[in-house]
Structure 1
Amino acid sequence: MLMRSKEVRETFRKCISRRDGIRSFGGTSKISSEGTQHSYSDEEKVAFVNWINKTLADDPDCKHLIPMDPETDSLFKSVKDGILLCKMINLSQSDTIDERVINTKKCTSFTMTENLVLALNSASAIGCTVVNIDAQDMKAGTPHLVLGLLWQIIKIGLFADIEISRNEALIALLGESEELDHLMSMSPEDILLRWVNYHLSAGWEPIRNFSDDIKDSRAYFHLLNQISPKGDGDDEMRIDIDMSGFSESDDERRAELMLKQADRLDCRQFVTPNDVVAGNHKLNIAFVANLFNMYPALNRPASNGIDYTIAGETREDRTFRNWMNSLGVAPHVNHLYSDLHDGLVILQLYERIQVPVNWTRVNKPPYPILGSNMKKLENCNYAVALAKKEAKFSLVGIGGENINEGSSMHTLALVWQLMRRYTLKVLSDIGDGEKVSDQVIIDWVNNTLKQGQKGSYINSFKDKSISTSLPVIDLIDTIMPKAIKYEMVKTGELTPEDKLNNAKYAISVARKIGVRVYALPDDLVEVNPKMVMTVFACLMGRSLKKVDG
């Protein structure tokens, strides 16, 4: 007899619930698809709990949470007051959240929600994808969403220094006759793979991945042996790796012996012997990234007449890149210019601003070996055509070839207009589709400040008073009374440090009241008119949403 569809579904659910290390459960909030079935990995939960326990062990604000028991579901309860998430975000990208803004004392349901909103908006600002996640999901401890967000936050921290402009010793990984630009365009994961193989070249075969090729732990033994301190520096203590476990016949026992050696380097993190033998890609990547951060064992090579001048990522580049990644574009954008060269990410961003894309016209990877760049150029040409004809962007003298070649000036011109349209779309949605000009926003800011009986006023988004952040702070206090604690705010004659502290405070409070701000404190201090506009526009959107209920 044929099984009814409901019976089939229930049988399937029971089957997937029994997979080793996999737990399943229903969805919770409406945003995260109530009634759907999700699963999560016990291995990830254990790894993340141990990492958080280690990194937050000395934080006085987390004493009520740490240590968590990795064998229970304590993690999912510990995120509900938002403090742990805020702290982990700051560990991954320091000063993202002004800790004066975190509610740490006797949290109520309301102040917990405030912390969670602050955490989610701050996570978005550092490039985490938080679509389909809200504060209620975190409060409920929805396992797959908690683990998914934590992995993004942890990975951003682990990968932060795997970037050549921040770690010039990575130039040592350049291949023979390889251009520096190629190395700079590689993803952190690809650079990690190259780093491992650089050290393995001294006596072991290269690996191609962090799953199948590391299952026997032998590559790890060689890596640990190469990167362990040799006692060459004045204060460096030599640590000799015991290689006897290399010849152990049992894979799991060999993995345990390898991890004991990693422990001597204080690097036994993220993986268990079973995770190594199972080839758990995510956790092995984290293990290797932590090894790299602790013991890179690289020296910047002599230039020998080669120009190794490195222009690091600008603050503006990073803001745009984080904005794109927070919207869930694929592939992940690691480098603003080289990663947009096939037009795919730009075309996805059009959909976010309701510019229709005919995806049947778009070439998708994998691209053919012969003529691959022509396929990418066709996408870029289409992206520029849409920008001019459908989005009505101003792109004088910009063609698809400029995007394809990674021209910073031309790419920024397009990306800024995308971000601007995305920001203003919130206002036009509230205002029944009416277009919003800069002057409309400026007038609204000044009228609102006047209604709130504030002394602040701006003439434009270049107004020097914005460097104090007081117009932003006063505006927040007007649209959300009691959100600002004025004892935290510096007034009068301000030093550069005072201005920066005000800016950090303003942006964190804005995020705490539900404003998704991508701008950085320096944008306010330096009065970057583009980013200043986005801050005021987002605050306007928050205020109008509040009025609409």
Structure 2
Amino acid sequence: MSTGKSGGSKNSSSVLKSTSTDIIIEAEKATYVRHINIYLADDPFLKQFLPLDPATNDLFNLAKDGVLLCKLINIAVPGTIYERAINTKTELSLWERNENHTLGLNSAKAIGCTVVNIGTLDLIEGRPNLLFSLIAQIIKIQLLADLNLKKTPQLVEVLKDDDGYLQDIEELMGLAPEKVLLRWMNYHLKKGGYDIIVTNFSSDVKDAKAYAYLLNILAPEHSNTLTLDTKDVIERATLVLDHAERMGSQIFHQRNGLSVDDEKISFEESVTDDVHLSRDERRFRLWMNSLGIETCVNNLFEDVKTGWALLEVLDKVAPGSVNWKHATKPPIKFHIRQVENCNLVVMIGESLRFSVVNLGGNDIVQGNKKLIVAFLWQLMRYNVLQILKSLRSCSGGKDISNSYIIAWANRKVKRTGRSHQIESFKDKSLSSGLFFLELLSAVEPRVVNWSLITKGESEEEKRLNATYIISVARKLGCSIFLLPEDIMEVNQKMMLTLIASIMCWCLQNSPEEDEAGNGYSNAYTSNASPAPSTVDEDESSSHCGEISSLNIDNAASDITVSPSQFENGDAIDE
């Protein structure tokens, strides 16, 4: 008898849990459907399917072709995907559908989404939890994009103390978007007489009181006295949502409560970026997040100061390299613990044969941008090396060096009957993008639409080609983190990672081709091959140990972390 009661109670609990989960999924779906209906209403292709009905499976059905995901990414970070690279037809083949999903997933990684354990099949089948997880990340990136002083200089107002004096601007510039949003929210709540400081968007706001105060301050004309008077949390939350609905879809952008004056406009003009460092910050931040580490890196130079995020990346790239017993997990109260973590990072880097001259743990803690970028470049290069090393059997046991990759690329292109060839990763002809397009077409003829290609002569034509190349490479399945400017300016480090990524895909998907073994050795003596690399192969092998040599050149590849070099920009950009 007692057993029967126990079983009944368990079954009832299971049913309630299932019902609760279904309600949450439906509510989540309705939120995303509303966002899609608003932001994609004028899309030339998708408008024929909109508005979506949240009460049906419209969202899942539309997501199956991959177009929706790509369009959402371009709304979040405009220009990420070359629109004409998306397969947009009423009826798509399995190949075209898979291309769209692969393009979407790799582009999602490139804007900062974590897509670990999410595959194209998950999206085609419309698995709710995985699809919602991805859509939520994309929408979050979109909505938080302007939460910085560069795009919204009015935020400098939240730094003023009670006497009207500005506090530390550098502190706000280093905060993650969510932290900036909290700072803005608490600024208004304090002005409105709300005495509690909100430290998170979960437990501190679950009673909806903070939201009620905030909306009353921003839009008092839509306020309802019942919102704060009611004791029922559900009723208050409902009234808050009604209030927000009357204010419009973009509360921060339309009613942020911040004034615009000459002081803030002047401040906006004074906020300047080092272009190359800004690109590197974005590139390495997105790459680190794509590895699936637990720490979400929002601001590269701030978030690596504890050393923990770098240790996580090292453990992903070189499994087992980190002795976690010697590391301290954030939050870290004492400065010395941060230095110890960062010293451990440098020590592991040295054991992996990175060049860490003049780099100490305290440099990372102090946020030395150029030294951090130099270390991260070597870490990214090591990751590429490990991938290529795993494919070395395809090369007949030969070391995969820079000359080897260039010879492979030239041979692939020549075999298609095309004429473009390159001599190095800094070959100026790469700026037109034509060699990359011919290489992509050589490894998979279906992936390039030649009617979209320009001659690559003017800056605009080069940009169009470069944007298309990045989208096509991602559509093929390459996980890359470069910008069109990297191709246009022939950033040799990024040229290396792009060609190496294409090579990896080719070797993984076409191992049966005759480019293994002796077929590859011919690439070194072919007339189409570049001049032999100036790198001493024996020296490179001894320097990298068991890892294949992959040098750009002696000066640029093995980065000596020297302040004098960075003053000239040589170690980063050459």
Interval of TM-score (by shorter of Structure 1 and Structure 2): 0.7 to 0.9
Residues 448-457 or 538-547, more deviating: 448-457
The one of 48, 51, 56 aligned to 1:67:
51
Gaps of 5+ in 1: 25-39, 229-238, 268-289
1:520 aligned onto 2:511 = no
Q: Secondary structure at the match of 1:21?
A: helix
Structure 1 residues 79-228: aligned runs within 5 Å: 79-105=63-89, 106-174=91-159, 176=161, 178-205=167-194, 206-208=196-198, 209-228=200-219
Give the secondary structure class of the aligned counterpart of 1:516: coil
The residue that corresponds to 2:363 in the other structure is 402
- Matched residues, percent identical? 38
Q: Structure 1: how far apart are the matches of 2:192 and 2:375?
A: 48
- 5 Å-filtered alignment, 1:464-503, equals 464-491=428-455, 494-503=457-466
**CA displacement 1:288-333 (0-9 Å, x = unmatched):** xx42133223236748x99994344712210111111111223211
Shift of 1:92: 0.5
- Mean Cα deviation higher: 446-455 or 466-475: 446-455
Give distance in 2, aligned partners of 1:165 and 1:247: 36
- Kindly provide the amino acid, as one letter, of the partner of residue 222 in structure 2: I
Instruction: State how far apart, in whole Å, the 2-side matches of 1:2 and 1:548 are.
Output: 63
The residue type equivalent to 2:64 in the other structure is K
Secondary structure class of the residue paired with 1:18: helix
Instruction: Name the counterpart of 2:552.
Output: none
Q: 2:330 corresponds to which residue? A: 365
Match of 1:240 among 206, 221, 232: 221
Offset, 1:51: 1.1
Considering only aligned residues, what root-mean-square deviation do their CA atoms show, in Å?
2.9
Q: 1:16 to 1:384 in 2, by over 3 A?
A: farther
Q: Aligned partners of 1:17, 1:141: CA distance in 2, in Å?
A: 24
**Counterpart selection for 2:247 from 265, 289, 294:** 265
Kindly provide the amino acid, as one letter, of the partner of residue 252 in structure 2: F
Instruction: Indicate the SS of the match to 1:201.
Output: helix
1:411 is displaced (CA, Å) by: 0.2
**How far is the alpha carbon of 1:434 from its aligned partner?**
6.3
SS in 2 for 1:454: coil
> Which moves more between the two structures, 70-79 or 429-438?
429-438
Relative distance call for 1:424 and 1:16 in structure 2 (3 A) is farther
Structure 1: distance between partners of 2:375 and 2:422: 27
Give the Cα separation in 1 of the matches to 2:451 and 2:422.
23
Instruction: Say whether the 8 Å CA contact 1:170–1:300 is kept in structure 2.
Output: no
Counterpart Cα distance in 2 of 1:395 and 1:179: 32
- What is the deviation of 1:131? 1.6
8 Å contact kept, 1:128–1:152:
yes
Q: Distance in 1 between matches of 2:267 and 2:255?
A: 27
Q: 1:310 aligns with which of 260, 271, 277?
A: 271
Residue 148 of structure 1 deviates from its aligned partner by 0.8
Q: 1:103 offset after TM fit, Å?
A: 0.8
1:534 alignment counterpart: 497
1:428 match = 389
Q: Deviations over 1:18-58 (max 9, x none)?
A: 2553149xxxxxxxxxxxxxxx7332222112111221122
1:458 aligns with 2:422: yes
1:435-446 to structure 2, matched below 5 A, reads 435-446=399-410
Q: Normalising by the residue count of structure 1, what TM-score does the alignment of the two structures yield? A: 0.83
Q: Does 1:252 align with 2:248?
A: no
- 1:287-366 matches, within 5 Å, as 290-299=250-259, 302=263, 309-312=270-273, 314-355=278-319, 356-366=321-331
Is the 8 Å Cα contact of residues 433 and 465 (structure 2) preserved in structure 1? Answer: yes
Offset from partner CA, 1:52-72 (integer Å, 9 cap, x none) = 122112223114542222223
Give the CA deviation at 1:459. 1.6
Are 1:89 and 1:96, in contact at CA under 8 Å, matched by a contact in 2? yes
Paired with 1:55 and 1:329, the residues of 2 have a C-alpha distance of 31
Structure 2 residue aligned with 1:284 = none
Letter in 1 for 2:470: I
State the 1:73 CA deviation. 3.6
Give the distance between the partners of 1:525 and 1:12, measured in 2 at CA. 62
The answer to whether the Cα contact below 8 Å between 1:221 and 1:243 also exists between their aligned partners in 2 is: no
CA distance in 2, matches of 1:254, 1:342: 40
Q: 1:388–1:212: structure 2 CA closer, same or farther, 3 Å change rule?
A: closer
Q: CA deviation at 1:245?
A: 3.5
For 1:280-291, list aligned pairs within 5 A. Answer: 290-291=250-251
Following superposition, the deviation at residue 11 of structure 1 comes to 5.8
Question: Could you tell me how far 1:175 is from its partner in structure 2?
Answer: 5.1
Aligned partners of 2:77 and 2:111 also within 8 Å: yes
CA distance in 2 between counterparts of 1:315 and 1:104 reads 31
Distance 1:318 1:247, change over 3 A: closer
Instruction: Using the TM superposition, name which of 498-507 and 305-314 deviates more.
Output: 305-314
Larger Cα-atom Rg: 2
How far apart are the structure 1 equivalents of 2:279 and 2:15?
44
The aligned counterpart of 1:287 is: none
Cα distance, 1:88–1:179 mapped onto 2, change above 3 Å = same
- CA 1:218/1:360 → structure 2, altered by over 3 Å: closer, same or farther? closer
Residue 226 of structure 1, CA deviation = 3.0
Gaps of 5+ in 2: 513-574
1:314 match: secondary structure: helix
Amino acid at match of 2:356: L
386, 389, 393: which one aligns with 2:348 = 386
Are 1:426 and 1:541, in contact at CA under 8 Å, matched by a contact in 2? yes
TM-score normalized with structure 2 length = 0.80
Cα distance in 1 between the residues matched to 2:336 and 2:48:
58
User: Aligned ranges for residues 19-98 of structure 1 at < 5 Å?
Assistant: 19-23=18-22, 41-63=25-47, 65-98=49-82
Q: Distance in 1 between matches of 2:508 and 2:14?
A: 44
> Which 4+ stretches in 1 moved above 6 angstroms?
305-308
SS class of match (2:221): coil
* 8 Å Cα contact 1:245/1:258 also seen in 2: no
Taking the aligned partners of 1:307 and 1:499, their CA distance within structure 2 comes to 30
Residues 517 and 12 (structure 1 numbering): CA distance in 2 closer, same or farther, change over 3 Å?
farther
Match of 2:376 in 1: 415
State how many pairs are aligned: 493
The residue identity in structure 1 corresponding to 2:159 is L
